[in-house]
Structure 1
Amino acid sequence: MLKKLFLSMQSQLALAFMFSRVAGYVFFLLLLPGLTVKNHRDYLEETRFNAFAQQVQDHYARHQQLKDLQIIESATVLDGQGQPVVVLASTMALLDRRGKLITPLKGHQMGETPSPDDLKYVRTLSQNGQVFATAVQLKQPPGQPHTTDEKALLQSVYETVKVTLPLGLLVAFVGAIVIAHFLTLPLQRLTRSAQAVMRKEKIQQVPVTLQNEVADLTQAFNEMLKNLAQGEQQRRQMIADIAHDLGTPLTVVSGYVQGMKQGKFQPTQERLEIIHDELLLLQNLVSDLRTLSLADEGTLQLSVDEVPPARLVSGIQQAFSLRAEKAGVQLDAQFEKDLPAVPMDLERMRQVLGNLVSNSLNHTGKGGQIHLRASSTPDHLILEVQDNGKGIPEEKLPFIFDRFFRVDESRNHEQAGGSGLGLAIARSIVELHGGRIFAQSALGQGTTMQVLLPRG
């Protein structure tokens, strides 16, 4: 149990956050002495320098000259509040208007011009807009030992840290747990939902509470759940449709055979033809299901060859001309002259176009027209089957390539035009060629099916 707790992402995030805070505290404690002493020294040096410069300014304001400077070189001077401040005359000095030393400066000769790199503070002194001198202070060399005051300051800081450090770690620990829980909560919800899917329980969407990478993952997961639900619904519907489409012809065949066996019917030519037609429906349905199964597995084989589009279109027109004539529908073929041959499986593409023409014949009334067309662009061969039949309702158009979908929702093969697998098979074959298939339709005006195949 303890091992599982430490291996959880929430615990790992909390530990990572705590580690970063502890590392920050350690780093802070390592830098604390140097930074504290440095800031303290800088403050004192700046205070002394400002007091020094102010004393010179006040001296010049009273005497209008820089004589009697021994007052400035004494051990102490007064700051702006009248408090005594130690002045290290050897590290602070005055320069005249030419930048020459006029007071002693450690490591330099009188009258010398100190290098700007050696100076820490520089302040120009003026009276009534006229510069009369420049106050400067040397940089202190590094590595100076701590003074008694600095040691006392460090001790005070350490005492404060001793009190605040445990409190800060406690706050960091609580904050780490809260933040880790907040960050991992969406992942916990995703896990519970995924486990529910594994147990085949009711699928529920996971709420999106953040706007980050986890939110993107949650949205993708919800979309997957939606697709799973749709897929499960389609699977159940497909099973019901297959059962119905297999059951109907089997019932017809079984009824006739049982009647003949019992002597109720005579095996006439008409009855045998009915049985034969129903068996053909079963055979075609099984063949369609086999084709879709191979396409889904990616094992549907194509026998590709260079085929003239005119051969494909004219062959389909001739194959369906008798059926079109019986239905009172005009079926013609139109194609550009000298269309270049295109790589395709001729038999499979005949299956595609044959299905499209068959659908048009099923939904185009007497006196209607169906046009087969072939044209090309620099990149594609375009095949079209256009009719002026009943058309497809706009709300049903996006679903016509779904398996077992029928526009009129009829389960009668003769009325609905097959098993409802034809367009799904057509799309699979076209996509296997690297092409695309589209449908455009308006209710009462007809339908145009367009196939685009790459030219090479």
Structure 2
Amino acid sequence: MKLLYQQMLAFFGVLIVAMAIISVMFIRSTSNTVWQNSFDQLEEYTDVLKDRAVDPNTYLINTEFIEHSEEILKKQNVHFMIYDATNTVRYPQTAEGQATAIAGRYWKQLENGDAVALPELTTNPRNGKQQSMTIYYKPVFLSGKLLFVIAAFAPVDNIQSSLRRTEYNLFIAFLLSLLVAIVLSYVLARYQVNRINRLRQVTHQVAEGNYDVDVKIKSRTHDEVAALADDFQDMVGSLRDSQAEIHRQEERRRQFMADAAHEMRTPLTTINGLLEGLAYDAIPEESKGQSIQLMRNETNRLIRLVNENLDYEKIRTNQILLKKQTFNATEALGEIKVQLKQKAADAKDELVLKASPDVQVYADRDRFVQVMVNIIQNAIQFTQNGTITVTAKTGYHQTELSVADTGIGMTEDQVKNIWERYYKADPSRKNTKYGESGLGLAIVHQLVTLHGGTIDVQSKKDEGTTFTVAFPDEETAPKQAPITHTK
């Protein structure tokens, strides 16, 4: 069964059940009210006769007054009877021999002073004929003694006629309500189904790969369907971002494969050419030493390229164990300065170290050196005829280091992407011997995070770049900080 019909059936069922319950309660309430009003009227008539129809001193019945009252109530078919203390009919006289006495069980109640109301008496008490009647008996006492009983009765036809009219009107109202319920249930069901169909259409589009969809559902009250639409919109946004990220990473991967293939092909071509030259004695004897050294350099370049990729994967998957210790950071930076001094000189850069002699750092020494070497080499790569300043100082529960250069700088977009794998801020420099893979800064970011530290970069185009690294001290450093995988 379609959802539309299910919704219609649900709404229609609720409305019909509600109307049926209301109708039954209304009929019962109306019926009780009609009967109660009838008895109340009969009681009022007996109260009037009690004071006017019988003389309590002489026990004489004012026949004229009773007949006059019956004449007035003729249209309502209301009649009266009066019984004395012996359950004998005193009025009307014409009914003697035909009128029926009050049943014994009711007479006992009357003798006890209780009025008796009978909703459906099947015999007319005046003539003994079979007829549905309503009757009200009221006892009258004097000094605790029963004097007489006044009976007022009327056919139930009037009451039943009134109830039938009420039931007929209610039936017409029920049919009209039924029609309205059908229309209303259809409108409500169609409204709900349209909203769900909107979600189905959008879901189908997303399944086909279209993430540029809008599933906002307007609703005055933010109900569950609207909340579902909002959640679905958030999911689509996440899928769209994920898809864009997948495409970007795939582009990075392709670029990396191209770069790696290029970087590997160049030294392999060089090594192959030199080996052929040596094999065929095409290289002069005095140049063989230089050729062997060149092959060693190219081989080391290949090893470095492979090691960087393997190292990054180990760091990224948290497969390395840091051997942290407290050591002199100034001394380690001095060794790095000596190691990179020639590379800085080749780029005509001045490498400056500013640090007090006793700056301590808590880290894995080898990984600390790897981090700082990568950052400084990056600064050398993008700085020509400039200055690279390395500073170190002790901060609050941490050691703070910075590498500031006066190189080409980066744009805001480049700064956002430098921690990503395979990313190169300046693709034109991808063939330089210090930036083969584009993994250097990604490795730096992972290693600093693994230490529980932080790394930040500030850069302006054509003005330079400053990397700031903070390593926590032994008291605050985590045992093994969780790796945050780069995208």
For residues 48-74 of structure 1, what are the alpha-carbon distances to aligned partners after superposition, in whole Å with 9 as ceiling and x for unaligned? xxxxxxxxxxxxxxxxxxxxxxxxxx9
Give the match for residue 195 of structure 2: 179
1:354 offset after TM fit, Å?
0.7
Contact 1:410-1:416 within 8 A present in 2 as well? no
Q: Residues 2-401 of structure 1: matches in 2 within 5 Å?
A: 14=4, 17-18=7-8, 20-33=10-23, 36=26, 147-171=163-187, 174-193=190-209, 204-210=210-216, 212-266=230-284, 268-324=288-344, 329-336=349-356, 339=359, 341-342=361-362, 344-366=363-385, 368-393=386-411, 395-401=413-419
Distance 2:201 2:430 in 1: 52
Normalising by structure 1, report the TM-score. Answer: 0.63
* Residue number in structure 1 paired with 2:445: 427
Q: Deviations over 1:248-279 (max 9, x none)?
A: 21111122222322333357011111111111
Question: Would the aligned equivalents of 1:18 and 1:176 in 2 still touch at CA under 8 Å?
Answer: no
Per mean C-alpha deviation after superposition, the further-off stretch among 384-393 and 229-238 is: 384-393
Corresponding letter in the other structure for 1:25? L
Secondary structure of the residue aligned to 2:427 is coil
> Partners in 1 of 2:242 and 2:4 — Cα distance?
30
Per the TM alignment, residue 309 of structure 1 is displaced from its structure 2 partner at its CA by: 3.1
The aligned counterpart of 1:99 is none
Pair 1:406 & 2:396 matched = no
1:331–1:369: 8 Å Cα contact kept in structure 2? yes
With over 3 angstroms needed to count, the CA separation of the structure-2 counterparts of 1:16 and 1:281, relative to structure 1, is farther
In the alignment, residue 200 of structure 2 is paired with which amino acid?
T
Change (3 A) 1:180 1:370: closer
Q: 1:324 to 1:167 in 2, by over 3 A?
A: closer
Q: Per the alignment, do residues 234 and 323 of structure 1 end up closer, same or farther by CA in structure 2, a change over 3 Å counting?
A: closer
Unmatched segments (≥5 aa) in structure 2:
35-68, 70-159, 218-229, 477-487
Of 432, 451, 456, which aligns to 2:469?
451
For normalisation by structure 2, the TM-score amounts to: 0.60
- Paired positions, count: 337
Alpha-carbon deviations, 1:209-246, whole Å to 9, x = none? 41622222222221122112212212222221221122
Greater Rg over alpha carbons, structure: 2
CA change 1:271–1:240 in 2 (3 A) is same
CA distance in 2, matches of 1:229, 1:345: 36
What do the CA deviations read for 1:120-145 (whole angstroms, capped 9, x no partner)? xxxxxxxxxxxxxxxxxxxxxxxxx9
Distance 2:13 2:359 in 1: 75
* Most deviating of 221-230 and 369-378: 369-378
> Cα gap change, 1:167/1:244 in structure 2, threshold over 3 Å: closer, same or farther?
same
Shift of 1:395: 4.9
Partner SS for 2:403: strand
Query: Could you tell me how far apart the structure 1 residues matched to 2:330 and 2:5 are?
Result: 72
Question: What does the per-residue CA deviation read over 1:357-382, in whole Å, with 9 as the maximum and x for residues that have no partner?
Answer: 2222333334x332211124325422
Closer, same or farther: CA 209–412 of 1 in aligned 2, 3 Å: closer
SS of equivalent residue, structure 1 residue 381: strand
Distance 1:183 1:383, change over 3 A: same
Which residue is 1:92 aligned to? none
What CA distance in whole angstroms lies between the structure 2 residues aligned with 1:206 and 1:259? 60
Equivalent position amino acid for 1:269 in 2 = G
Q: How far apart are residue 281 of structure 1 and its match?
A: 0.7
Q: Is the deviation greater in 319-328 or in 20-29?
A: 319-328
2:326/2:360 contact within 8 Å kept: no
> 2 CA distance for matches of 1:340 and 1:223?
43
* Counterpart AA for 2:319: T
Relative to structure 1, the CA distance from residue 314 to residue 150 in structure 2 (aligned partners, 3 Å threshold; closer, same or farther) is farther
CA distance in 2, matches of 1:31, 1:397: 71
The answer on whether the counterparts of 2:352 and 2:389 sit within 8 Å (CA) in structure 1 is: yes
- Aligned CA distance change for structure 1 residues 416 and 320 (closer, same or farther; 3 Å): closer
Aligned to 1:124: none
1:319-357 Cα shifts (integer Å, max 9, x gaps): 334544566543332235754542x21111100101112
- Please give the per-residue CA displacement for 1:146-189, whole angstroms capped at 9, x wherever unaligned: 94443233222233345444555555555554332123222222
Matched AA of 1:178? N
In structure 2, C-alpha distance between the alignment counterparts of 1:395 and 1:374, rounded to whole Å: 28
Distance 1:14 1:305, change over 3 A: farther
Secondary structure of the corresponding residue to residue 199 of structure 2:
helix
Residue equivalent to 1:78: none
The range that moved more, 267-276 or 348-357, is: 267-276
CA distance in 2, matches of 1:150, 1:434: 84
Partner SS for 1:386: strand
Contact 1:208–1:219 (CA under 8 A) maintained in structure 2: no
SS at match of 1:397: helix
Amino acid at match of 1:153: N
Bigger RCO (CA 8 Å, 6+ sep) = 2
Equivalent residues of 2:7, 2:185 under 8 A apart = no
Q: Amino acid of the residue matched to residue 180 of structure 1?
A: I
RMSD of aligned alpha carbons: 3.6
2:432, 2:387 → 1: CA distance?
Answer: 20
Instruction: Look up the equivalent residue of 1:362 and give its one-letter code.
Output: Q
**Contact 2:331-2:357 within 8 A present in 1 as well:** no
CA separation in 1, counterparts of 2:10 and 2:452? Answer: 54
CA distance in 1, matches of 2:423, 2:313: 17
